[in-house]
């Protein structure tokens, strides 16, 4: 009877926690946790909410739109194209490759490792999310 009860609790715990734990994307910079994108799109840097990445690609800071990462990967700021995140993860600024978000989560700038992202990056959607955080909230990447 005890085993059955323990197994039931364990399964319930996994069912309740797993969807929430796997949905957040953690971005590490220089080996330390830097940013998290929660499952509702809230972007936290050093634990504080700094903005939001919406499902249509709009990036918000303080409630106001500051840019967009379109479904085709085009990155816009103030309505103008400033770069692109390609489906293979190549990040371009004004047409030139400046880095890459690899499928395994490694983030490269100019060929060197800049950081990593977990729970993302196998598909274009995860790469778009990471690109939005890097482009609009990191002063030393884009």
Domain boundaries, the chain: 25-137
Burial status of residue 111 (CB atoms within 10 A of its CB: 0-12, 13-18, 19 or more) = exposed
DSSP string spanning 47-85? TEEEEEE-TTSEEEETTEEEEEE-TTSEEEETTEEEEEE
CB 131 within 8 A of CB 88: no
Identify the band that residue 23 occupies on the pLDDT scale cut at 50, 70 and 90: low
Residue 20 is predicted with a pLDDT of 39
CA-based nearest residue to 140, from 87, 80, 99: 99
The per-residue pLDDT for range 63-95, each reduced to its tens digit, is 999 999 999 999 999 999 999 999 999 999 999
Q: What pLDDT was estimated at residue 142?
A: 85
pTM over 0.75: yes
């Amino acid at each position: 009877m005890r085993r059955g009860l323990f197994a039931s609790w364990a399964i319930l715990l996994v069912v309740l926690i797993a969807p929430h734990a796997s949905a957040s994307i953690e971005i590490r910079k220089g080996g330390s946790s830097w940013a998290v994108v929660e499952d509702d799109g809230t972007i936290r840097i050093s634990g504080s909410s700094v903005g939001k990445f919406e499902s249509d690609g709009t990036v918000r800071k303080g409630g106001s739109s500051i840019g967009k990462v379109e479904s085709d990967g085009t990155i816009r700021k103030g309505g103008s194209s400033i770069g692109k995140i390609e489906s293979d993860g190549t990040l371009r600024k004004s047409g030139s490759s400046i880095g890459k978000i690899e499928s395994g989560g490694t983030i490269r700038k100019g060929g060197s490792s800049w950081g990593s992202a977990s729970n993302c990056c196998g598909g274009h959607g995860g790469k778009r999310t990471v690109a939005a955080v890097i482009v609009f909230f990191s002063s030393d990447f884009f």
